[in-house]
Structure 1
Amino acid sequence: AQIDHEIGLARALQDRLVPKEPPRIPGWDIYACMARAAQVGGDFYDFLRLPDAAHLIVLADMAGKSVYGLVHLSLLHSHIHDVAEHTADLSYLAAEVTRRSWPELQPDSYAAAVLLKVWPEGDQVEFVNCGHLPPLLVPPHGQMAELSTGDPVIGARRHHAYTAARINVRPGSMLVCYTDGFVEARDAEGRMYGEDRLRAAVREWATPTATPRDVCRGLLRELATFSGPERSDDQTLVVLKRKGT
């Protein structure tokens, strides 16, 4: 009963961190979904408005699946909101959030996160990848690309100069962001879902006519078929599509 009570508290806290619906950004279609861990997970996503009128999209995964880990996640959430009120510079934002979070995450906790900056009607996305699995850029035609900058997780060190990179996102392209609960899910024989299966599923679902909602629901369905209904970790997706043809 005590464990059930703690799980209930953890889920209530996680609910408060996750927005009820994605923002409406001109020129973009956005959808996010989370399939919860059976016990306690550590994922959250968020959408914020930056001082320069661009939008910040955050996907993060805290190490340590416990109520304690979710308290760390709540602190990280607060730091991101505080810093994003005063800067639109993604490199600075990531560095300052890391500096503020470092004392709380010691000695052995950390968070992987990806920060995306999106402009209304913009054809570029700026990103910082803090040790997170690389989001996938899926153009309507051509090769899939990864969004990686080689930077460490939040909590690995107190001071780090994070790299902000930009990519062109053509109309009809999708960005698929996912947490490790996807690739590390296992079937009844213990086989991992893995990145190859995920990429194949993304290619199948992220078609030129699909919406981000279609992609989220299709990928979650496919993963549930592979690994069954019991989840040992949160499985979270944030999908963006640049409107137009």
Structure 2
Amino acid sequence: MTAGPGADRSESFGEALLGAVLDGAHELPPHLVGPLFADVVERLGGRRPQVLLQDYGQLLLVPLRGEGLTDGDPQDIDASAAGRCFLDAQRVEVPEDGGVRVYLPLLDGGDQVGVMAVTLNRVDDDDRRLLGRLSGLVADLLVTKHGYSDLFFSARRGEEMTVAAEIQWSLLPPLAMIMPRVAVAGILEPAYNVAGDSFDYALNGDILHVAMIDAMGHGLGAATMATVAIGAYRHARRLGTGLSEIYAAMDEAVGQQFGPDHFVTAQMMRLDTATGRVHLVNAGHPPPILVRDHRVLGRLDAPTTLPVGLGGAEPEVSELELERGDRVLCFTDGLIEEHAVGEEQFGEDQLIDAVNRLERTGRGVRAVARSLSHTLMRARGGQTTDDATLLLVEWRG
């Protein structure tokens, strides 16, 4: 749009402030993202700037180090103002001596990168507007620059990661996506030792494509098999094929690469975000759970075919209609089959009870998925001998 001849095109303070970030963003080295943010905060009259990144275990918010940034101890997501901002994806303001500490979510497509924090002497609506826009720019910079450097990966690690887990994390899409019609959130446990579990999703136009897999075994072999399965899934999906053809492509890839004694259980789903209609193929995987009106309605039992890699027949594609606000919980068997020595398995009933308790809080899918995974991990005594992965999909209508 062309400005009229009488329009004021002079640069305002806010435009100059944010423009300082945008002007050099394309050639900004990753390690200078934090210092650039600190410089902008200083020009705004703020102090103690922090960028807090979520650790891989989704337990802590870890300060990013850099010139001009405030260091400090990691903050507990479940017991801090920064954590409240992170979980609810909302600005949080906390009075402190000599000013107000402001926490803002660093959001990218609904995925929560972390939290931005700054202290101001006082906060008005102009400050809130500028800080909100600045947080959006900082989030985008963190996402676009992380592929060029190990800096942000290293900051998020709370402990040593296995090679298998390294492969799995590099394979994953963002852990969350929040859009007007649909929301997705997933989590993997154990975060630093995961191997055979993985998930994938893509929103192509009105259609949300979702897959969850569990490769047999553990360690590097399982991670390699999961990589082949997800790669075959993406290749077939991007060709525009249906779920039956996607299953066949995954089955052929895993079978040819690993032989008849290896397999991957899988679940592939397509959700029409305009209508709520779901098409589902289950290849030896635990059936998903349907949550309606914040309570588990039941399992989505459907005909199942052999896991991919075993040469199963053409799968039967199941259909169902979701109602606005419905959530579908997909999970791997490690979530319910863990048990202490000599005791019963954790079981699906405990899973359903945990879902019902958390759904009553009315929180978004990202917070519920995270809390559910950690609740179940605590119930298993903080240990798991198998990967335990879940993916929560909400049709928002």
**Normalized against structure 2, the TM-score is what?**
0.55
Residue 155 of structure 1 and its aligned partner are, at CA, apart by: 1.6
Structure 1 unaligned regions, length at least 5? 1-5
For the pair 1:225 / 2:378, whether they are aligned, the reply is yes
> Per-residue CA shift, 1:177-218, capped at 9, x if unaligned?
111111112246533101121122222223483321232123
Give the whole-Å Cα distance in 1 for the aligned partners of 2:271 and 2:254. Answer: 25
Give the whole-Å Cα distance in 1 for the aligned partners of 2:202 and 2:325. Answer: 24
Decide which of 103, 112, 116 is 2:265's aligned counterpart: 112
Superposition pairs of residues 128-143 of structure 1, within 5 angstroms: 128-140=281-293, 143=297
Pick which of 101-110 and 62-71 moved more: 101-110
Give the whole-Å Cα distance in 1 for the aligned partners of 2:202 and 2:296. Answer: 31
Q: Which residue of 2 aligns with 1:197?
A: 350
For the pair 1:76 / 2:229, whether they are aligned, the reply is yes
Decide which of 257, 260, 275 is 1:122's aligned counterpart: 275
Residue 120 of structure 1 and its aligned partner are, at CA, apart by: 2.8
Residue 121 of structure 1 and its aligned partner are, at CA, apart by: 3.0
Q: How many matched pairs?
A: 237
Higher RCO structure, 1 or 2 (CA under 8 Å, sep 6+)? 1
Q: Which residue of 2 aligns with 1:154?
A: 308
Q: Which residue of 2 aligns with 1:21?
A: 175
Pick which of 82-91 and 172-181 moved more: 82-91
Give the whole-Å Cα distance in 2 for the aligned partners of 1:106 and 1:171. Answer: 43
Residue 237 of structure 1 and its aligned partner are, at CA, apart by: 0.9
> Per-residue CA shift, 1:99-131, capped at 9, x if unaligned?
232122323211111111122333111111111
Pick which of 83-92 and 21-30 moved more: 21-30
Give the whole-Å Cα distance in 2 for the aligned partners of 1:40 and 1:109. Answer: 18
> Per-residue CA shift, 1:61-98, capped at 9, x if unaligned?
00011211211111112111111111241122112221
**Aligned-residue RMSD, C-alpha:** 2.4
Q: Which residue of 1 aligns with 2:93?
A: none
Distance 1:69 1:200, change over 3 A: same
Give the whole-Å Cα distance in 2 for the aligned partners of 1:124 and 1:26. Answer: 17
Distance 1:15 1:27, change over 3 A: same
Give the whole-Å Cα distance in 1 for the aligned partners of 2:198 and 2:355. Answer: 21
Q: Which runs of 4+ in 1 moved over 4 A?
A: 37-40
Q: Which residue of 2 aligns with 1:181?
A: 334
Q: Which residue of 2 aligns with 1:3?
A: none
8 Å contact kept, 1:22–1:47: no
Give the AA of the match of 2:195: G
Distance 1:201 1:37, change over 3 A: same
SS of aligned partner of 1:81: helix
Structure 2 unaligned regions, length at least 5? 1-159
Give the whole-Å Cα distance in 2 for the aligned partners of 1:208 and 1:37. Answer: 25
Give the whole-Å Cα distance in 2 for the aligned partners of 1:13 and 1:176. Answer: 24
Give the whole-Å Cα distance in 1 for the aligned partners of 2:191 and 2:178. Answer: 28
